[in-house]
Amino acid sequence: MSLPDKQSFKWVTLLRGAHDLITAIGHYVAVLCLAIIVISYCTEIVSRYFLASPTQWASSMVAYMLCAMLFLITPALVRDKAQILISILPDSLSASSATTYMRVVYLLCAVVCMIAGWFCFDVAVKQFVSNISTVNEWRIPKWWLSSLLPYGFFSSGLYFLRHSLSSEPYKVSEVSIS
């Protein structure tokens, strides 16, 4: 069995860097979505309660931005291992057993995310082909929102796969309940 050549490592490093860059951009766009949500709510409150003229668009804007924000930020959370993890079992295992256990869990998470991403991609394509729109006051093509779901799932799945293949050992959770 021969070792991979330097060119292979270069491509892997380049692909990881591109994945991390896309995730960082998604993170910043998610922050922008949150700012839009806050501004929309504040605008609605001022318009409704001080000007007696509620907006027609704020509710739809908040719903759209919430969907976008969730699926744009999820890969960054998985990258940083900031997703919810009930760590009672791995924390009670030896370091090598916990590392093996978590690699299997990350691999299963990767598979689940890839399958969910595929189903969401299929739905988004069908919505695009059928030209389906949202039913809110402010109608947009539904695939605009649906296309973010496969991105979030596929990208998160790649991060779970990267975690499962990582040589980094499992670290015991440092969160304490007081």
Cβ neighbour number for residue 71 with a 10 Å cutoff = 23
Q: Which residues of the chain have pLDDT under 50?
A: 1
What pLDDT score does 34 carry?
Answer: 97
**Residues forming beta bridges with residue 133, ordered by sequence position:** 141
What pLDDT score does 119 carry?
Answer: 96
**169, amino acid identity:** P
**2, amino acid identity:** S
What pLDDT score does 16 carry?
Answer: 87
What pLDDT score does 71 carry?
Answer: 95
What pLDDT score does 82 carry?
Answer: 87
pTM: 0.84
Q: What angle, 0 to 180 degrees and rounded to 10, lies between the N-to-C axes of helices 6-45 and 148-165?
A: 140
What pLDDT score does 4 carry?
Answer: 58
What pLDDT score does 177 carry?
Answer: 55
Both tokens assigned to 135: 């039913």
What pLDDT score does 79 carry?
Answer: 94
